[in-house]
Amino acid sequence: MPKLQDVISISTLDLVECLSTAMDLVSPALANHQRRVGFIALRLAEQLGMGDALRKEALIAGLLHDSGALSMPDRSITLNFELDATATFSPHQHAVAGYHLIRKFRPFADVAQIIRFHHLPWGNGKGGVCRNEEVPLGAHITHLADRVDVLINDKANILLQRQDIAKVIEQNKGKLFHPLLVEAFAEVAGKEAFWLDIASVSMGARVVGESGFAHEKLDCDDLLDMTELFGHIIDFRSRFTATHSSGVSTCAASLARLARFSESECMMMKIAGNLHDLGKLAVPVEILEKPAALTDAEFSVVKAHTYFTYKVLRNFRDMEKLREWAAYHHERLDGNGYPFHLHGGELSLGARVMAVADVFTAITEDRPYRAGMTAEEASRVLVNMAANKALDGEVVTLLLDNFAEVNHLRILAQSVSREEYQAFHQAL
Which residue, 211, 235, 263, sits at the end of a domain?
211
Asked, for residue 323, whether it belongs to a domain, the answer is yes
* Domain-embedded: residue 13: no
The per-residue pLDDT for 6 is 56
pLDDT number for residue 427? 81
What is the average pLDDT value for the chain, to the nearest integer? 90
Read off the pLDDT band of 88 (50, 70, 90): very low
Is residue 190 located within the same domain as residue 245? no
Question: 12-21, 68-77, 276-285, 387-396: which has the minimum mean pLDDT?
Answer: 68-77
237 and 175 housed in the same domain:
no
Domain that holds residue 196: 32-211
Looking at the structure, tell me whether residues 257 and 154 fall in a common domain. no
Domain end marker among 178, 211, 244: 211
Q: Are residues 271 and 372 in the same domain?
A: yes
Over residues 101-107, mean pLDDT: 92
The answer to whether position 152 is within a domain reads yes
pLDDT band at 190 (very low <50, low <70, confident <90, very high): very high
pLDDT (average), residues 24-44: 88
Tally of domains in the chain: 2
Is the predicted pLDDT of residue 86 greater than 60, yes or no? no
Q: Are residues 254 and 384 both part of a single domain? A: yes
User: Over 50: is that where the pLDDT of 87 sits?
Assistant: no
Average pLDDT over residues 61-78: 76
- 234 and 198 in one domain? no
pLDDT band, very low/low/confident/very high, at 140 (cuts 50, 70, 90): very high
Burial of 79 (0-12, 13-18, 19+ CB in 10 A): middle
| Pair 52, 107 in one domain | yes
254 and 157: one domain? no
Query: What confidence tens digit (pLDDT) does each residue in 155-183 have?
Result: 999 999 999 999 999 999 999 999 999 99
Same domain? For 266 and 399 the reply is: yes
Q: Identify the CA nearest to 143 among candidates 122, 125, 123, 162.
A: 122
pLDDT score for 204: 84
Checking if the pLDDT of 219 tops 90, the result is no
Assess if residue 157 is contained within a domain.
yes
Tell me, yes or no, whether 101 and 60 share the same domain. yes
| Residue-level pLDDT at 24 | 83
pLDDT at 75 over 70: no
Whether the predicted pLDDT of 76 surpasses 70: no
Q: 24 in a domain, yes or no? A: no
Kindly state whether residues 200 and 230 are assigned to the same domain: no
- Please say which residue of 164, 179, 211 terminates a domain: 211
Compute φ and ψ for 24, nearest 5 degrees. Answer: -90, 10
Question: Residue 114's domain is classified under what CATH number?
Answer: 1.10.3210.10
Residues 311 and 398 in one domain: yes
